[in-house]
Amino acid sequence: MRWVSISALLKLTVLSLVVAPMLLLAPAADARQVAITSLPFTYSDGDQIPGVVDTLYIQGTKLTSATRGIDLNSVRDLVLNLGSDTLVFGTGGGDEHYGLDINGPVSDRPRNVKIVGGYILHQPSDTTAANCRGVRLNGHEITMEG
């Protein structure tokens, strides 16, 4: 049997009384899954909860829009997980459409956005569509993978 001194027990008790409440009050890194069920789809900073990392994903394998695709406005800490899904935009013709538009005013540009996988296709119904782009990235710390 091993003896422990009273002073060692007191130190351990004081340490546990100090550390345990700090662990209970520590903020958890929360995450939220948001399904994109139709296009066009707009998601902005007002849709987000501060401190929560949202992951957007396409429900199904293919979504189609006659005009725009996905607009992400002034968002922070967001993952757009397209996986192996397809986003088709501009099928109704027209000008100035984006499949994926990550944008915001100069004072509130999107930040820390990660785009994972996916296919973005522009399939206009006629040849008169002008100035349409698959992707517009206008923010800070935006990364694309796979």
Residue 120 · residue 90 · CB < 8 Å = no
CA distance 11 to 129: 74
> What number is the average pLDDT over the span 73-83?
95
Alpha helices in the chain (DSSP H): 6-25
Query: Is 0.85 topped by the overall pTM?
Result: no
pLDDT at 24: 44
List C-alpha distances in Å: 46 to 14, 72, 74, 126.
43, 11, 9, 36
Q: What is the pLDDT of residue 5?
A: 59
Could you identify the residue written with the tokens 């900073």? 45
- Mean pLDDT, to the nearest integer, of 81-98? 94
State the pLDDT at residue 67: 95
CA distances for 96 relative to 67, 82, 135, 138, angstroms:
9, 23, 12, 16
